A = this chain, B = another copy of it.
């Protein structure tokens, strides 16, 4: 006789970010206060632009990582709150600059700051937030944390420039692409997680564990984002399917489908991505090719690979609600596409 599993139960088994959200709720309240206060300025346009993006409904996963990674090693006080806010500001500054670089009009379903206030304000308010991020780090006073986060700032920018260089070049390999997302996305996840044990005065092994967790979570997160761009629905994601395609961005689903395709398929990709032939009919064709060559499924498989590494990075740590919550976040990130 079979066991009847009610649908609700099944749904509850879906990995969730909720344990992490609950555990960090009171500290995130302090982060949110600090965000508002440090994005403030007598120059009215600064809080306007900053709050537009800050209040636009991002999950604030990165600052939650910092808070959890400090608290799990017994940190109390407010250093982790300041560093978490710094991390979120670094992320926000990157988004402001990215929208200018990508000439994007929509982010998370809202008009980008650059379409409302112009490229100028987006560049400069990004610079301001980066400056404020560094001031908060300096205020915390940990040279180790400053080292980790300032290195991340350089690496992120380097990754973005590298992305420009590989842009619209269909010969980009999976390795090239990994180098880009390791720098532009995963480095900040890694830094966000590593500064937790640093301010908690945890061991070097603990620092390395959290850094590896963050790095691999970041890779999984970005790969899933790439899949969503070819598979999510516009209302879920706040952006349209095919944004990456229309911008000529090369992501792993495209790389896999290009390399696995026939010479005719490859000619199509070059015309679409390098030549800018990215109308709706060509997007349909691209989606068909990506499906035919398993581009989405295999990108998800890669994400799972990095997710497993992230999980193993935390394996030696003692069991705790913090550890469980961080591990569940790995599955949550990957489950967004399943």
Interface residues of A (CB under 8 A from B): 41, 43-46, 97, 100-101, 119-121, 123-125, 127-128, 130-132, 134-135, 137-138, 141, 143, 146-147, 150-151, 153-158, 160-162, 164-165
Across the interface, do A123 and B97 meet the contact criterion of CB distance under 8 Å?
A: yes
Closest B residue to A118 using CB positions: B164
Closest B residue to A160 using CB positions: B124
Closest B residue to A100 using CB positions: B123
| A101-B120, A101-B123, A146-B138 known; A46 vs B161 contact (CB < 8 Å) | yes
CA distance A123 to B141 in the complex (A): 29
Return A41 CB to nearest CB of chain B, in Å.
6
Across the interface, do A135 and B161 meet the contact criterion of CB distance under 8 Å?
A: no
When distances are taken between beta carbons in the complex, the residues of chain B under 8 Å from A127 are 97, 130, 153, 156-157, 160
Return A13 CB to nearest CB of chain B, in Å.
42
Across the interface, do A150 and B131 meet the contact criterion of CB distance under 8 Å?
A: yes
CA distance A154 to B44 in the complex (A): 15
CA distance A146 to B130 in the complex (A): 14
Across the interface, do B120 and A134 meet the contact criterion of CB distance under 8 Å?
A: no
Q: Which of B44, B153, B155, B161 meets A134, CB within 8 Å? A: B153
When distances are taken between beta carbons in the complex, the residues of chain B under 8 Å from A162 are 43
Q: A138-B147, A138-B150, A143-B143 are in contact. List 6 more A-B contacts (CB 8 A).
A: A97-B124, A125-B157, A131-B154, A135-B147, A141-B143, A146-B146
Across the interface, do A154 and B135 meet the contact criterion of CB distance under 8 Å?
A: yes
Q: Which of B45, B97, B100, B131 meets A165, CB within 8 Å? A: B45
When distances are taken between beta carbons in the complex, the residues of chain B under 8 Å from A158 are 41, 43, 46, 128
Assembly stoichiometry (copies): 2
| A134-B153, A135-B147 known; A125 vs B161 contact (CB < 8 Å) | yes
In this complex, which of A131, A132, A160 has the most chain B Cβ atoms within 10 angstroms of its Cβ? A131
CA distance A119 to B165 in the complex (A): 14
When distances are taken between beta carbons in the complex, the residues of chain B under 8 Å from A141 are 143
Closest B residue to A142 using CB positions: B143
Closest B residue to A93 using CB positions: B127
When distances are taken between beta carbons in the complex, the residues of chain B under 8 Å from A154 are 128, 131-132, 134-135
When distances are taken between beta carbons in the complex, the residues of chain B under 8 Å from A125 are 157, 161
Closest B residue to A140 using CB positions: B143
Q: Which of B121, B137, B150, B161 meets A164, CB within 8 Å? A: B121
Q: Which of B100, B121, B151 meets A161, CB within 8 Å? A: B121
5 A-B pairs within 8 Å (CB atoms) are namely A41-B161, A43-B162, A124-B157, A128-B158, A134-B134
When distances are taken between beta carbons in the complex, the residues of chain B under 8 Å from A46 are 158, 161
Across the interface, do A43 and B138 meet the contact criterion of CB distance under 8 Å?
A: no
Return A183 CB to nearest CB of chain B, in Å.
9
In this complex, which of A44, A121, A135, A151 has the most chain B Cβ atoms within 10 angstroms of its Cβ? A135
In the A-B complex, the 3 residue pairs with the closest CB atoms = A131-B154, A131-B153, A128-B157
| A100-B119, A123-B100, A146-B138 known; A161 vs B130 contact (CB < 8 Å) | no
